[in-house]
Structure 1
Amino acid sequence: MVLAVCAVIATVLIVTRGGDEEASASQTPAGTTAQNGYGQSGTEGYGHSSDAGHGAAAEGSAAQGGQAERSGPQPVTEVDKTFLVAVRQAGLWEIPAGRLAQTNASSEAVKRAGLHLMDGHSKLDQLVREDAEILGVPIPDQATPEQQGWVKQMENARGAEFDRIFANLLRASHGKIFATIGEVRAASQNDLIRRHARQANQTVLDHLEVLEDTGLVDSATFAEVEEAVTPK
């Protein structure tokens, strides 16, 4: 009788343990998935992000392609051409003027301004020749007769007289073209012209400042520039 009872108890224990092990085994994948829900949702998230990224890239490429197809030769207006010619002619007389300042001037400030003119216009002259060739714009090989007359005037002057002539002639010239550069930069539809106008603007502004630093610019010169740039 005792043996029979023991056998029954043993059977119950075995069945109970088996049921617990099955329950534990069935819960393990669910528990793993729950803890790794960050893994599953993360995987799905990365999958969607990747697809979206490829889609955006494809759309971006298509948009860029469409833009490239739409962009044709950029216009070069008469104002653009006149601007390039003016920059070229400015260098053709202002570089020689800067050289004359090194030999004919008595003021160190004037000599310094001359060095700025030589450096700035040498760089602009290289740029204008490159851009004119690219855009097919003919540019002159010599300054205007008026500009050549200014150089001649400075060649015949020395000391304080040279300093005064140099400062006022160059300040008037730079002041007038400074206004033109702003108009070209604001209105030109051509990338090269806008880039050129930006560089010219920086160069001319520097020259205006070093010329004014000489302390020799007359009030009449400022009045001349004002009259020239004021819309009629």
Structure 2
Amino acid sequence: MVLAVVAVIATVLIATRGGDEEASASQTPAGTAAQNGYGQGTQGSGSEGYGHSSGVGHGTEAEGGAAQDRQAERSEPQPVTEVDKTFLVAVRQAGLWEIPAGRLAQTNASSEAVKRAGLHLMDGHSKLDQLVREDAEILGVPIPDQATPEQQGWVKQMENARGAEFDRIFANLLRASHGKIFATIGEVRAATQNDLIRRHARQANQTVLDHLEVLEDTGLVDGETFADVEKAVTPK
């Protein structure tokens, strides 16, 4: 009787141990896979393991390569077109006559709004003139040392005017000039491939827009001036 009981117990223990070993054996591959799942995998596993790990790795390499390409592009000489060069020349010439015009407004004008506009012109074009000289030197673009004969004639006309006459001449000459160059700035910024020209166009745009507004604030700009600008900037 005792021997029979002992035999039963032994049989149960053997069966239990065997079940545990089978369970452990069946869990081992899953446990290994889980451990290798986060980017480790097994050598030669191809797409096995944590699938996104391979994707992220390739994405990072691609992004790094693209960043290097962009850096290489920036380090290469950027093109300077004839339009870019003409733009720099125009900005330079504008400062050469509009700064003196702004200075004349302080002595010859009778309107405080005109004097204020003159101050804006002196400040804005002084900063643009410094920028254009720096950019022209960097890009190797020759720029003039004097305004065009037409621009010099405008300055002479203002030198000979006083009071209300000066106010009217100043407001209309400067509003017409700024209106035409404002349209040109947009064309240059839209087409240029040069980072310096893009920066310059952005600064010029902000400056000219400010000048348009202070000139219009004088209330002296004639309808004929607006019509002249519209004709000049309308695509042919």
Q: TM-score, normalised by structure 2?
A: 0.75
CA gap of 1:8–1:106, structure 2 versus 1, over 3 A, is closer
Match of 2:46, SS state, is: helix
Deviations 1:63-113 (A, max 9, x none): 524761696321111111110000000000000100111111110000000
Match of 2:193, SS state, is: coil
CA gap of 1:188–1:59, structure 2 versus 1, over 3 A, is closer
Q: Distance in 1 between matches of 2:23 and 2:50?
A: 34
Q: Distance in 2 between matches of 1:22 and 1:228?
A: 91
Q: Distance in 2 between matches of 1:43 and 1:37?
A: 11
CA gap of 1:29–1:108, structure 2 versus 1, over 3 A, is same
| More divergent stretch after superposition (26-35 vs 63-72) | 26-35
* 2:9 aligned partner: 9
Deviations 1:88-142 (A, max 9, x none): 0000000010011111111000000001000110110011001100100000000
Contact in 1 for aligned 2:105/2:118 (Cα 8 Å): yes
CA gap of 1:65–1:153, structure 2 versus 1, over 3 A, is same
CA gap of 1:219–1:45, structure 2 versus 1, over 3 A, is farther
Q: Which has the higher helix share?
A: 1
Question: 1:217: Cα distance to partner?
Answer: 0.2
Runs of 4+ in 1 over 2 A off after TM superposition: 1-55, 69-72
Q: Distance in 1 between matches of 2:36 and 2:173?
A: 81
- Count of equivalent residues: 232
Question: 1:8: Cα distance to partner?
Answer: 18
Question: 1:49: Cα distance to partner?
Answer: 6.2
Question: 1:5: Cα distance to partner?
Answer: 16
Match of 2:85, SS state, is: helix
**Is it true that 1:137 corresponds to 2:147 in the alignment?**
no
CA gap of 1:65–1:210, structure 2 versus 1, over 3 A, is same
Contact in 1 for aligned 2:37/2:49 (Cα 8 Å): no
Contact in 1 for aligned 2:39/2:54 (Cα 8 Å): no
CA gap of 1:5–1:226, structure 2 versus 1, over 3 A, is closer
Match of 2:66, SS state, is: helix
- Counting aligned pairs with the same residue, the percent is 93
| More divergent stretch after superposition (163-172 vs 23-32) | 23-32
**Is it true that 1:46 corresponds to 2:44 in the alignment?**
no
Contact in 1 for aligned 2:84/2:188 (Cα 8 Å): yes
Deviations 1:27-70 (A, max 9, x none): 99999999999999999999986994697157515652476169
Q: Distance in 1 between matches of 2:183 and 2:31?
A: 76
Q: Distance in 2 between matches of 1:77 and 1:39?
A: 50
Q: Distance in 1 between matches of 2:149 and 2:39?
A: 81
Uncovered stretches (5+) of structure 2, i.e. residues with no partner:
none
Question: 1:229: Cα distance to partner?
Answer: 1.1
Question: 1:152: Cα distance to partner?
Answer: 0.8
CA gap of 1:47–1:76, structure 2 versus 1, over 3 A, is same
Contact in 1 for aligned 2:36/2:50 (Cα 8 Å): no
Question: 1:174: Cα distance to partner?
Answer: 0.4
| More divergent stretch after superposition (30-39 vs 121-130) | 30-39
Q: Distance in 1 between matches of 2:65 and 2:219?
A: 57
Uncovered stretches (5+) of structure 1, i.e. residues with no partner:
none
Deviations 1:157-176 (A, max 9, x none): 11111100000000000011
Contact in 1 for aligned 2:36/2:49 (Cα 8 Å): no
